[in-house]
Structures are given as C-alpha cells and as structure tokens.
A and B are shown apart, each in its own frame.
Chain A
Amino acid sequence: MTETLRFRRDEAGGTLSSADLLRECGRRLTDSFLWKEFQNRFHKTIMTFVMRVMWNRFRSDCLEEACDLVQDVYLRMLDNNGRVLRSFKGEAEFSVKAFLARVVLNVVSDHYRTIQAGKRRPAEIISIEQARQQGRDLSGEATDLDIRSILSWIDVERLMESDSDRRNAARNVLIFKLHHVDGFSVQEIAAFPGFGLKESSIHLVLQTMRENLKKRMGK
C-alpha cells in the first residue's frame, strides 16, 4: 500500500471520534476507507446487538438469520443516502452505541414483523370442546396476570409513598423492579449513566426499598 493510501486511511477515520465517524460515513457513502474504519470499530458491536435482540425479544438464535440481519442493518444505514447516519446528533461513545442499538432493534423487529405477517392465515376451524378448553385456559391466565398487575401497582404506589427520598422515589422503584422483576444485576444497572448511581448506591437503594416493603407488609 502506498504512502498516499495510508495517509488517506488515517485521514479517513483514524483520528475521528466514533460520533464523527458515524456522521462522516453518512456523508461519504462510497468512501471505502472510511467504511473500513467503521467496520473495524462497529462490526462486532452490530453483530452482538443483532444476536442479543434476536434472543431476548424473539427467542431466536439462528446464525444464518443473524447474518442476513447484520447485512440489513448496514443497508438500513445506507438508506436515503445515509439519512439515518447523517441525522445522528450525539457525541458520546454511549450515544453511538445507543444509536446502533436502536437501528438494530428496528431492523430485527421489522424482520420478524414481516415474518409474522406472512404467517397470518384465515381462522382455523376448531371443535366447540377445544374452544371451551382454550377459553378456560386463557381466562385463568388473564385473571392471574391482572391480579399480579394490580398487586404490583399497589405495591409501587405504596413503595413510592414510603420512600423518604421523594425526589428520586420513581427512579428507586424503577431500579427495584429492574433488579427484582427483570433480573438485572446491580453491576448491570450501574453501567448505565442514566441512573446516575454507583454500585454501592444501588445496593443502598435496594436495601432501603426492601426494608420499606417489609414494613408495609408487617402493617
């Protein structure tokens, strides 16, 4: 490779921040050096995101499908002369990742939505006995869910009322739910700057919330 080409490569993306690289790729869609840099920095991230969305939302781990979807993510970014990339306004590394995650989420969701639409068929004819059985099953499940929701809602209201930190009461309940209901670890929650808390603080929040809940239950 000549000096000129090496220079172009450095100039193309080596010194750009991730956010600027993203926008620059949107402006120079045919610059292979710039896109090579994009691939170096984000290709693995995009693959990881695709697999995570597939698994967590659609319970699919088909690698062939993942390959196609990664390709679709690139195509989505190139759509309308790179409008998506050019419209990116963030600056931080996290913003870039969040942006890529959103694109991946949209692409994967659209893909499965299309599949689901293709699978829609005219209503199946079933026997009356089968319909009764299904109705019994569904009504029982729905009742359980409703009760759980109501209980959960009351708990939340009460939890918020009992929290001495009134300003952050909603945040604390959200953290409590993310930990206990959605299964996120303290470390995973602390990794997101939006919560604005260190691991030790999250531990403290969870502990306080548990104590408040115990008090409420004791009453």
Chain B
Amino acid sequence: MNGKREAIHGECISEECLADYLEGTLDAVMRSACEVHLIACDACRGNLALFMKVLGEGKRPEEERALDELSMLWQQRNLLPIPAPRKWARSSAHLTYAAVGIVALLLLVVLIGKWRLGSAQPVPTQIVDALVTRVRPFEPRIVGQPYLTIQEVNRGPEDTARDGLEVEMTEKSAESYEMGRFFLLRKKYPKAIKYLKTAIAESKGVSADVYNDLGVAYMENGEASFAAAESEFKEVLSRNPAHAPAVFNLSILYGRQGRIEEAEQRRRQYLSLDPDSGWAKELRKKLLQKEPIEP
C-alpha cells in the first residue's frame, strides 16, 4: 500500500495501481487520489486508456482476423509455450510402462499356473492318493487311508528297481512328505524313513500326521525300529491325544511287542474314538480273539 501511495504522490501512477483502480480494489482515499491525478495527467490517463483497450472484452473484426493469422503463424512455427517434459521424464515414463507390462505378464503366468494347478491336483499327490486308496500293504494305518483288508504287495523292500512311478515322482519334484509316503506304500521303508525325517526337518510346526507315517515306517522296518516307532506315535498323541491312526498303530505295535495289556488299552481307546469303521471292526475282532492279526 505504501508503494501505491508513493506512486500516486509522485509524478505518475504505477501500472499495478492502475490495474487495481480498474478492478475496483483500491480504498476510497486511494481511488479519489488516483482520479484527481488521472484527470490532470494525460500520460497516466493514456496508460489507463491503454489498459482499458488491452483488457476490453469485445474484439473488432480486424482484430479477430489478426488473431487467427497469429494463431496460424504460431502453429506453423511450432512454438511451445509450455515447459516441455524433460527427456528423463519421458524415458522414465517409458520405463514405468515397460515395468508395468512385465509385472502384468508375470501375473498372467502365475495366474494361469495357479489355475492349472487348481484345476488338477499336483501329480505326486495324485499318485500317493491313488496308492493309499487302492492298496493296504501293511497292518498299521497311515494318515488319510480308507479301510481296506490287508493285501500283499509284490514289491518288497529288497526290490531296488526304480519303477516308472518313482521316476515320475522324482521328476515332478514331489515334496519330501509325498516321497516318504510313496516309498512307505511301496514298502521301501529305509527310503520312506529318510524322506519323512527330511519332511519333519524341512518345516517348522509340521503336522502330527507326518510323525504318524514315520512311526508306521519304523514299525514296518523291523523289530529294531519298534522303539523309534513308539516314540513317534507318542509324539503324535502329545500333539493330538485323539489322533485315531496313532492310537490304532500303538495298539498294533504293543501287540507285536507282546505288551498285551497296553495293546488292549489302546484298542479300547481307539474304539471309543472310532467305534464303527472297518478299522474298529478289525480291532474289535482282535479283542475277542485276544491275538494279533498278522499281515
């Protein structure tokens, strides 16, 4: 404001003050002072008149024509009034688009992979599930096994030939647990023990089911491994006291070891957990016969 006063009290009015006057933003005193000066000073009134002509709303036809010509000339000269984006900004935009494209492609691949995996179970799981549901190679019970009568499997632990299924399991990169169960069902107990132990070592918070299957492998591996088998089954029950397969297997193990009372106790415990299944009928028959069923 002081600047504006100086401008008025001096010889002429500043352009800023003239603009403010035309806009009507000056206070009454300043406005009057401006007006007094403007009617006396032709130069300042000339400036005011110029501002009024420049800011005027209407356009004369010749002005319109000149403006069109100027616009055309501007376009011909390809002038850029706006700050052009920096080169690095352009290239970074291109990089961003490329990165987005790659991420989208990867997502697509992952989604397609998931869809394919989701639509069909992984092959190793399919193989093991097929074996579990079709054969019962031994008396103890592994996890997820439906009741079947005991069948003899031709291939014994002495058979070292790698069959087609084993190759496929290996090629499909089956996880240790699946490999362990596969070799268990194939009666290749040392391999089964190795893989199942690996499965336990590989992951924290491993399921009680893995310990159960490892116990079965130890039990079927021979008398020397009975203690290890008992230890594994007890580990399962410490985690889940109502784990039916582990209780079933302990009853079998104690029977084989001649620990009759403990075997009967476990059979009764099992019948309380699972009174109606094929497994239960088998145990009930043993209770009545008071002798183990040999494979």
Residues of A within 8 A of B (CB): 29-32, 35-36, 38-39, 43-44, 47-49, 51-53, 56-57, 61, 63-64, 66-67, 70-71, 74, 78, 90, 92, 94-95, 97-99, 101-102, 104-106, 149, 153, 156, 160, 170-171, 173-174, 177-178, 181-182, 184, 188-189, 191-196
Contacts and interface: CB of A to CB of B under 8 A. Distances in A.
Interface residues of B, number: 49
Contact of A48 (B31, B38, B59): B59
Nearest to A61: B66
Contact of A174 (B20, B38, B59, B82): B38
Contacts of B67: 44, 47-48, 51
Nearest to B62: A61
B95 to A, nearest CB: 15
B51 to A, nearest CB: 6
Nearest to A99: B19
Contacts of A51: 63, 66-67, 70
Contact of A170 (B24, B32, B45, B56): B32
A170 B55 contact: no
Nearest to A103: B15
Contacts of B59: 48
A36 B86 CA distance: 15
Nearest to B48: A178
A167 to B, nearest CB: 8
A189 B83 CA distance: 37
Given A98-B22, A101-B19, A170-B35, A184 B49 contact: yes
B69 A78 contact: no
Contacts of B32: 170
Given A98-B19, A102-B16, A174-B45, A39 B81 contact: yes
A39 B81 CA distance: 7
A57 B46 CA distance: 9
B83 A32 contact: yes
A30 B67 CA distance: 28
A100 B45 CA distance: 20
Given A67-B79, A105-B54, A95 B39 contact: no
A177 B42 CA distance: 10
B71 interface: yes
B50 A57 contact: yes
Contacts of A170: 32, 35-36, 38-39
B55 to A, nearest CB: 5
A194 B21 contact: yes
Nearest to A192: B22
Contacts of B45: 174, 177-178, 181-182
